[in-house]
Amino acid sequence: MRRSLHFVVALALASSCFATAQQLDFLIRGGTVVDGSGSPAARADVGITGDRIVFIGDGHGKHAKREIDATGLVVTPGFIDPHTHTAGDLSDPKRRRNDAYLMQGVTTVVTGNDGESPREVGATLAKWQKQGIGTNAALFIGQGTVRGQVMGMSDAKPTPDQLERMKRLVETAMQQGAIGISTGLYYAPGSYSSTEEVIDLAKVAAQHGGIYDTHMRDESSYTIGLVGAVRETIRIGQEAHLPVMISHIKALGVDVWGQSADVIKLIDDARHSGLSITASQYPYTASGTSVTAALVPRWAEAGGALIKNLDAPDVHARLVAEMNQNLVRRGGADSLLMTDSRDKSIVGKTLAVIAKERNESPIDAAIEIIKAGGSGVASFNMKESDIEAFMRQPWVMTCSDGSEGHPRKYGTYPRKIHEYVYERHVLSLEVAVRSSTSLPASTLGLKDRGLLKTGYFADVLVFDPKTFNERATYESPRVLATGVRYLAVNGQLAIENGALTTTLAGRALKH
Ligand SMILES: [Zn+2]
């Protein structure tokens, strides 16, 4: 008898402990839940305890330490950006909170894209984890960085020994937690690598379960052409046996406008043949690059001799002729807007305006700008019909490719939803959210993120559909977005009542 009474008391204690453990830290009540899977939106309450989502459903009768009224608001997983340039921000004590991204509802950023990454993947991730960061962050190892480390700016073919050293660097980075290898085959020094050289390095990433992310060799008609570059990417994926992701897919310049249809067909065929191939995209008609990358042919940069070549009489005629061709390709001097330069007097002006002011040709003006330290440019070179065609594909995810001087760093995610969902009805809200959450999570292999699902990490966004929008413009690119009411990163509020908190709840994510 006594024994069984003890048993009952023990049971009661156990169940009360259970009830305490079940008390929620947060209950987000009454919002429209878009869970990231693409399933239809539904009204539901979302419960969070610790760093996890522990409840989704009718929270009537549930108790939480903190209730959030989400009536009239949309609740989604935090957005995951597969292509950013945030390594510097995250390492900087003043910028590590990653405000531009939090205010768009982004809870995870990937960086090290375009072939350019920190050399030390392990040390960089450890630093971020130790000092604290506002969003979660993951890293690619950059093939351009690796090549630069071994071969400098040489345009030569690597010797067997150099290739071996590059492979070891990729292997070390993968062992230290890189999620894959990125290339920037359009940029020097990545552009000096043959397809075979890239395949050899991608195979190392494949052995460690990594993916291949690429700013392709050509998004236009510079060298092998847009379609040729997609074929090269497919070949790399097939021969190195790893998933491939095309960065910021686009048809750049008048020569290739309308080729989105051919590219989509090629990718669909590759997918049907069994290759895992996806793409990311930012929702703007201008790309962001530099005057040098946009106009100067790569041969003029080889061996780090750019400035010397700009002045060399023996190559001047060829250089100017090719730069002129590249300017036509990009839509002319009116379509290049200076966005970020040491010379503040040129920022906000087009190359056409600068050339006119200086009474010289656009190419001469561009050469002077490069010699004075260069400039970032917004290059208006995309057609809206291509952007929309790519955006509709179920394998296209959202990315910001955020860089200084382009509004995409501050506005991509709210812009996509405001402009392409609510204004133009190109996508449903469910599809747009999927492209910014579960699709990147599954592509990048980020475990337990990208969905509102019990047991998943509590990266949760609550936004107001009436005010969720970008405020950054090409003229004022560094303006934070509006409309995020609450944002949880690993279960802690990074944004509360529309304002940033001091919380640094992001984690360095290792593959
Ligand atoms: Zn890029």
pTM: 0.92
**Residue 179: its pLDDT value, please?**
98
Q: Tell me the CA–centroid distance for residue 181 and ligand 1, in Å.
A: 14
* pLDDT of 11 over the 60 cut: no
23 pLDDT band, cuts 50/70/90, is: confident
Closest C-alpha among 120, 282, 279, 288 to residue 213: 279
HEC string for 190-239: HHHCCHHHHHHHHHHHHHCCCEEEEECCCCCCCCCHHHHHHHHHHHHHHH
pLDDT in tens, 249-261: 999 999 999 999 9
Q: For the chain, what is the mean pLDDT?
A: 94
**Residue 303: its pLDDT value, please?**
85
* pLDDT of 115 over the 70 cut: yes
Q: Tell me the CA–centroid distance for residue 84 and ligand 1, in Å.
A: 9
Q: Tell me the CA–centroid distance for residue 217 and ligand 1, in Å.
A: 10
Residue with tokens 């560094």: 478
Q: Tell me the CA–centroid distance for residue 215 and ligand 1, in Å.
A: 5
| Exposed/middle/buried for residue 98 (C-beta within 10 Å: 0-12, 13-18, 19+) | buried
Q: Tell me the CA–centroid distance for residue 184 and ligand 1, in Å.
A: 7
Q: Tell me the CA–centroid distance for residue 71 and ligand 1, in Å.
A: 39
Q: Tell me the CA–centroid distance for residue 83 and ligand 1, in Å.
A: 8
Q: Tell me the CA–centroid distance for residue 459 and ligand 1, in Å.
A: 26
**Residue 12: its pLDDT value, please?**
43
Q: Tell me the CA–centroid distance for residue 124 and ligand 1, in Å.
A: 21
**Residue 308: its pLDDT value, please?**
87
Amino acid letter, residue 167: K
Q: How far is 40 from 109, CA to CA, in rounded Å?
A: 26
Amino acid letter, residue 175: Q
Amino acid letter, residue 494: A
How would you classify residue 415: left for phi > 0, otherwise alpha for psi between -120 and 50, otherwise beta? Answer: alpha
Residue with tokens 């001047």: 316
Peptide bond into 40 cis (omega under 30): no
Q: Tell me the CA–centroid distance for residue 495 and ligand 1, in Å.
A: 29
Q: Tell me the CA–centroid distance for residue 367 and ligand 1, in Å.
A: 23
Q: Tell me the CA–centroid distance for residue 493 and ligand 1, in Å.
A: 31
